């Protein structure tokens, strides 16, 4: 009962700051969205919630809206525009596979006229096409990707990651990460994208149409997916807080000024400092060459003049 109770409490707390509209066809609640006062945005920035409550017909994108990669394969998830048009599901993605030598395993996106601000809590969410395999054990379809951000598109700051690996004999020590397949539990891939299952979808489970919050992932301390299934306001996906960036000169600059560019690199192309080899591919992934990126949504934006 504890997982359900946690999900119920989370949902009630979120709804306390929301208003519910009625479906005119059947008089049933259909949309629950924040009403004033909105969650506070940093000075000079506007929140996703305020913008879409006050301008529901606006085309201003809170998701990254430009890709710096060329189209490599229209018929095989090689069109980077599929990662810039909002969360639209499994078939509307860009895959970080080996499309060509210049863009192998990497995708760079940006906000064309805005910077992502550093506010309270999750600052942006990345949606991949992950899903649960075993709800009770937290086992998921995982395609991990490392995340870096930049204000100018030149100086990159990586989010810290921690891969815990597989402990098949339960001795408290990870197996040989250089030869063993990667763990398929989301609990073992801290700080990566492409890990937690996605629910958010502009057609079937969005903020404007259904009240779902793209920055409320759900209670990950609860095992399995019960917290997502029972709480219709949860979005899933992988949320990132700029305050978790390192306290280096470049990291502090982004925490202060925000960022415009985001770089995603498939994990098995990135060196793990613990092993001096690349992070492993996940055994149950059907596309071990890279994550399938659906969209990246910012919570707070400021205009670039």
* pLDDT mean over 132-158: 84
How many folded domains does the chain comprise?
Answer: 1
Percentage of the chain modeled with pLDDT above 90: 43
Backbone angles phi, psi at 81, to 5 degrees: -60, -25
Q: What is the mean pLDDT of residues 60-70?
A: 89
Give the C-alpha separation, 177 to 267, whole Å: 13
Check residue 23 and give its pLDDT: 41
The confidence score (pLDDT) of residue 229 equals: 53
More confident residue, 146 or 170: 146
User: What's the whole-number average pLDDT of the chain?
Assistant: 80
Return the pLDDT at 4: 25
CB 71 within 8 A of CB 184: no
User: What is the residue range of 21's domain?
Assistant: 2-303
Could you tell me which residue, 196 or 76, shows the higher pLDDT?
Answer: 196
Query: pLDDT tens digits, residue range 212-246?
Result: 999 998 766 555 554 555 577 889 899 999 999 99
β-pairing, 261-266 vs 106-110, is antiparallel
Q: Estimate the share of the chain in helix, then strand, then coil, as percent rounded to the nearest 5.
A: 20, 30, 55
Question: Both tokens of residue 251?
Answer: 């990291």
Over the range 141-151, which residues count as b (16 or more CB within 10 Å of their CB) and which as e?
bbbbbbbbbbb
Nearest 5°: phi and psi at 70?
A: -75, 160
Rounded mean pLDDT, 3-17: 34
User: Could you report how far apart the first and last alpha carbons of the chain are, in Å?
Assistant: 52
Residue of 223, 264, 210 whose CA lies nearest to 31: 210
State the pLDDT at residue 174: 57
Per-residue pLDDT of 247-265, as tens digits, reads 999 999 999 999 999 999 9
How far out from the chain centre does Cα 35 lie? 24
């Amino acid at each position: 009962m504890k997982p359900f109770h946690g999900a119920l409490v989370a949902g009630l707390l979120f709804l306390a700051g929301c208003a519910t509209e009625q479906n005119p066809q059947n008089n049933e609640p259909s949309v629950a969205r924040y009403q004033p006062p909105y969650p506070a945005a940093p000075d000079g920035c506007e929140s996703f919630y305020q913008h879409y409550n006050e301008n529901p017909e606006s085309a201003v994108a809170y998701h990254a809206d430009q890709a710096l990669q060329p189209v490599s394969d229209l018929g095989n998830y090689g069109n980077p525009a599929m990662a810039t048009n909002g969360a639209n599901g499994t078939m509307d993605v860009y895959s970080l596979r080996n499309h060509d030598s210049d863009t192998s395993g990497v995708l760079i996106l940006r906000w064309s006229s805005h910077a992502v601000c550093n506010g309270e809590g999750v600052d942006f969410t990345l949606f991949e096409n992950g899903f649960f395999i075993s709800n009770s054990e937290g086992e998921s379809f995982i395609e991990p990707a490392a995340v870096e951000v930049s204000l100018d598109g030149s100086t990159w700051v990586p989010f810290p990651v921690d891969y815990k690996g597989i402990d098949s004999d339960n001795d408290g020590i990870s197996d040989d990460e250089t030869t063993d397949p990667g763990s398929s539990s989301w609990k073992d891939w801290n700080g990566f994208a492409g890990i937690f299952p996605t629910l958010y979808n502009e057609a079937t489970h969005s903020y404007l149409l259904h009240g779902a919050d793209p920055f409320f992932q759900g209670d990950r301390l609860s095992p399995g997916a019960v917290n997502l299934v029972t709480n219709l306001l949860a979005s899933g996906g992988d949320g990132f807080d700029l305050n978790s960036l390192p306290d280096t000169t470049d990291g502090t600059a982004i925490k202060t000024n925000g960022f415009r560019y985001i770089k995603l690199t498939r994990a098995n192309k990135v060196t793990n400092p613990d092993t001096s080899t690349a992070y492993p591919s996940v055994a149950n992934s059907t596309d071990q060459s890279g994550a399938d990126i659906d969209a990246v949504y910012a919570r707070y934006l400021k205009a670039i003049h």
